[in-house]
Structure formats: structure tokens, C-alpha cells
Amino acid sequence: MGHKGDLKKALDILDTELKKKGISRREAFKLAGLGSASFLMGNTTEAEAATVASASEAKGKILIVGGGLAGISTAARLSNSLSTPNITIIEPNPESVSYQPGQTLVAGGVWDKSDIVYQTKDFIPSGVKMIKDKAKEFDPENNKVITEGGEVISYDYLIVATGLVLDFGMIKGLEGVGTSASANPEISKKIGKNGVHSIYYADGAVNTWTGMQELIKEAKTGKNLKALYTHPNTPIKCGGAPKKIMYLTDARLREAGVRDNVELSFYPNGGTMFGVPEYHDAIVKQFEARDMKWEYKNNLVEIDVNTKKAIFEKRWLEKGVYDEDIEDYEMIPMSKKVERDYDFIHVTPPMRAPDAVKNSSLAWQKGSASKGGWVEVDKETLQHTRYKNVFALGDVAGVPMGKTGGSVRKQYKVLVENLISLMEGKELTSKYAGYTVCPLITGIGTVMLAEFNWTRKPTPSFPLDPSVERYIWWLLKVYALKPMTIYGLLSGKA
């Protein structure tokens, strides 16, 4: 059908659904504070404004490592903003721009895999050079990147947008690493079958829906079953996803009339449901209302896929001796291994930066941030703190939170403005405030749209209680966000 046909179809569906609720598309977007999506409503003025503004005459060879959502969107905006852009992208995956936020909907049986897969070549801005390869080594001292194919590429300015690695191998019993678009053969031997699933890569999401249907089928026989959901001890992309798939399982079990036969338990490594207190409180109430169980400070460290046993490291504090200096008892960190049986388990893998980034001088050198190998950048300007001609955004950037597509929508504008300022010899004045958005799916037809920034306070874009589950946000998630991302963000205009 082509891009325009796909977009029209998506918008027609959205209009139909909104009409049932007595609201127009324009009103819906206005309500959601989505003015940047005005081009979707036939109003191209704002979209054109991004390109009509006088283009910068600044020159320089720009290299972007990573051609996913962050990399392509940045290349597109730079192409729109520079009069003579010289941009090269290194990206090995021909489907790197596939719509990752849709994997949850695939796993819940709402979408098919074909609904989220896009070809990167269809979104490469005119004039941008693509190198189908993978970065093997970064040499920022000499402004060079070496690819796995042996090519040495020099640059004046570097943008790191590699995304991250799903390191399933950090869990004993699971092997290998993968990306959000794919998994290596080792992972597929253990995940996607026999009750072990993960929505964090496309085929894994497809298999999760199959596994969910198998769970429902078994529950219909009258058996009492256990479904476990994990959240690891590393930063992860889309921190709400481990809970989203749990909510969707709950919804599908209720739909099938067998919810009472399956115990749903969430085992996060952290000590809260969400880093923003208001959203944490709302989620706890939602869990209680759905009879979904949880236990904090549990990290999945081992799994036996044959016997269906998951081993967690459980952590807690115990009161020690009385310390007269601080007039309080010393708190001693304790831990033990806890084995739990499961019939279905959703594994959220530990995540880290790709080896080429993690092992380079671009990565954080000190503190806890160094563990993941994330790129060391100023959290507001997204400029590297030691190499001033290097920037990073998206999942690989070493900033608090911010590993979502919604974060990229704010980050890439800041990065482009600051890079052009640097190229023009000006001060970097654009600042990223840590905006993150998580459309938390809480059932078939309900979403809580959690928006927040580094203040860890709700920052809603609309005059509605952000802690309430709403049908309007389900429509936004299912019908509007994908075309906004694919046709807006990837064009550098949203």
C-alpha cells in the first residue's frame, strides 16, 4: 500500500474508534498535548516550520553509529537543518527501524509481527550514506571508527546511537546476547518455548503470544498454574514492559474465564513498582484490584528450562549491632537464593551497551554508570563529557532513565540543536530535561500514560489525572503512536 496508504489506513481506524467515543482526532491530540503530531491531522504548518527555518551553513563530516529510531531520526533532522549535510550511518540490520514499542501488543495478541516490521532503506534521508556494517572499535582520540568489515571511517562529529544489548547470558541457564530486532540461535534454543518467554525481541514477542495461549489452554483443564514476571538488576529499555505483559496476561486469562486458575507473580529487583511515587501508588492499587502478586528485591540469576525452576537472589537488610556514633542500629545487607516453580515465565533480560561501546574510552569510567558501559554524556546537552565532538542519544546514552522512544523524541531535537551550535562555534544552550513517557498497558483497552522527567514527578501533557487508566490512551498507543513514530519521528519532523 505504501507509506501514505498505511498512514491513511491507521488514521481512518483511529477516526472510527474516536468517533465511537464522541471525540475528534484533533481534539484527541489536543487533549494529549501532541501538537508536534499536527502533521497527522492534515495541518502541515508546524511540520514544515522545521524545514522552512533558515538552514545552517555549518559544514563537517558527521558519522552516526546506529541506524535505529534514534539514529535515523537524528540524520533526518540534521538533513533538514543543514544546507550541505555530510552524513554517514553505520548500521548492519536492514530492519533496524522496526517499531519496538509494538512488541508488547504482538505478545498480547493485538498486533501481528508484520505490523511492526519496517525496512530501514525506506526511511534513509536523501543524500545520507549508509554503510551496512557494525562498529567494532571506537577511536575518539583520532576521530575514527573501525567496522567489523575492517573499514576505517573518519569523522569531524560523532553521534553514538547503537542501542543496547539484551544479555540473556547473564542469567545462568540461558545463553547468548541479542538485540531488540533479533536474537542469536543460542537464545532461541531456550526462549520462546517450554513456558520461557521474552517480549524484548520481535520473534520473542510472537512466541510470547503463543505461550500465553498455551497457558490459557492448560488453565482450561482445571490445573492450578504459576506465571512469573521478572525485572533485572540493570537499567532496561521501556521499564514498564515487564508489567505490561503481566497485565495483558491477566486480561487474556479473564477473557477466557480461567484467571482464577493462574497465580501471577511479579519479581522485580528494585524496591518499588515505579520511580515516580504517584505512578507507583497507582500500579500497586491496580495489582491489588487484579489479584496480581509481587515481591521486591528479587533478581533472576538462574533458570532450568527443563525442570521449569527459576532461581532468584533475594536481598534484604537485617538489624545488626547498635552504633553509638550514629545512634542507630547498623543495617547488614543479606541475601539468599530462592527457587520458584513456574508454568510460564516472562524473562526481562539484563541489558548493557554493545561491546564496542562498553570497551571503548567513550563509556563511563567511574561509578555505577560504568557497569553498563553506557556512553558518558552530559545528561542535559547529550555532549560527551571528555570528547566534545561526540554526542549520544537513545538507549546507549548514559543518562538517568530515558530509554524509551518517547525520550528519543525529545533528545534528538536537543542533540541536533547542540551539534549545530558546536559546528557554528556557539555555546550549547539546548537542554534535555529527562522527559520520558511510558504508555503503561493495563489491560485490553486501558492504558495509564505515565509522563515524567528527572524531577521524578508526573509531567502530564494534558489536563487529566495521569495516574488513571483510560481508553483514550489505549487508542493513542494502538492507533496513533506508531504512525507518529514511523512517519513523524523518522522524518525528523515530530
Active site residue 238: yes
User: Which residues lie across from 384 on neighbouring strands?
Assistant: 377
pLDDT digits (tens, 9 = 90+) for 373-403: 999 999 999 999 999 999 999 999 999 887 9
Residue 8: the pLDDT is 61
Of 24-33, 73-82, 131-140, 482-491, the poorest mean pLDDT is in 24-33
The three-class DSSP label of residue 269 is coil
Of 36 and 316, the one with more pLDDT: 316
* Topology, domain 168-351: FAD/NAD(P)-binding domain (3.50.50)
Average pLDDT over residues 453-470: 86
Of 48-57, 82-91, 248-257, the poorest mean pLDDT is in 48-57
Rg (C-alpha) for the chain, rounded Å, is 23
- How do strand 351-352 and strand 152-154 relate by DSSP bridges? unpaired
pLDDT digits (tens, 9 = 90+) for 61-72: 999 999 999 999
* Topology, domain 2-164+353-491: FAD/NAD(P)-binding domain (3.50.50)
Q: Is there a contact between 405 and 440 (Cβ–Cβ < 8 Å)?
A: no
pLDDT at residue 97 tops 90: yes
pLDDT at residue 2 tops 50: no
pLDDT digits (tens, 9 = 90+) for 398-452: 998 879 888 999 999 999 999 999 999 999 999 999 988 899 999 999 999 998 9
Q: Tell me how far the alpha carbon of residue 203 is from its chain's centroid.
A: 16
Q: Is there a contact between 226 and 262 (Cβ–Cβ < 8 Å)?
A: yes
Mean residue pLDDT across the chain:
89
**149 pLDDT tier (thresholds 50, 70, 90):** very high
Active site residue 438: yes
Q: Kindly list the distances between the CA atom of residue 100 and the CA atoms of 152, 202, 238, 274, in Å, as whole numbers in the listed order.
A: 31, 8, 10, 21
Residues of the chain with CATH 3.50.50.100: 168-351
Indicate the angle between helix axes 277-290 and 241-255, nearest 10 degrees.
20
Of 269, 371, 369, give the one whose Cα is nearest residue 316.
269
Active-site position among 10, 238, 428, 484:
238
Q: Is there a contact between 372 and 351 (Cβ–Cβ < 8 Å)?
A: yes
Active-site position among 50, 438, 481, 490:
438
pLDDT digits (tens, 9 = 90+) for 310-336: 999 999 888 888 887 777 888 888 899
Residue 40: the pLDDT is 40
Residues of the chain with CATH 3.50.50.60: 2-164+353-491
Q: Is there a contact between 348 and 370 (Cβ–Cβ < 8 Å)?
A: no
pLDDT digits (tens, 9 = 90+) for 184-203: 677 888 899 999 999 999 99
